[in-house]
């Protein structure tokens, strides 16, 4: 694949990730109207889970950090899929309405869930890649 082809593929992977993020967020808003930040929180936790699986592919030797597949998945798809900035804006929106306790609770909960998801993804990936 040429360099321009790779750059276009990288952009396409980022676009697919962004569309997946948008789809999850819109679906969440339709299902759970009381917690509008939940969709983006879910996306970020899922991104950490998938990132953990991706890192386990590196550690197990099934993928190399400098290969194009890794770049397409990590930088492209996961880069377009996850969005910490949108999540922070959602938290600020909750805090602006005077719900400071809820804002801090959501922030800490998502950080912890993201860390646990990354660890779970890593362990799951190590198990999967051991076959």
Quick: pLDDT tens for 74-126.
999 999 999 888 889 989 999 999 999 999 999 999 999 999 999 999 999 99
Q: What is the pTM of this model?
A: 0.89
Total tally of structural domains belonging to the chain: 1
The model's pLDDT over 35-47, given as tens digits with 9 standing for 90+, comes to 778 899 999 999 9
Q: Are 97 and 103 in contact (CB under 8 A)?
A: no
Domain, as residue range, for 60: 3-129
Residue that has been written with the tokens 């040429």 in this structure:
2
């Amino acid at each position: 694949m040429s360099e321009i082809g790779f750059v276009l593929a990288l952009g396409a992977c980022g676009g697919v990730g962004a569309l997946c993020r948008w789809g999850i967020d819109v679906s969440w808003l339709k299902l759970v109207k009381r917690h509008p930040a939940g969709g983006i929180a879910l996306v970020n936790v899922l991104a950490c889970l998938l990132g953990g699986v991706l890192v386990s592919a590196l550690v197990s030797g099934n993928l190399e950090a400098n290969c194009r597949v890794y770049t397409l998945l990590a930088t492209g798809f996961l880069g377009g899929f996850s969005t910490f900035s949108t999540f922070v804006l959602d938290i600020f929106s909750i805090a602006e309405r005077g719900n400071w306790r809820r804002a801090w609770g959501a922030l800490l909960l998502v950080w912890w869930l993201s860390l646990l998801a990354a660890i779970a993804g890593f362990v799951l990936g190590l198990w999967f890649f051991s076959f």
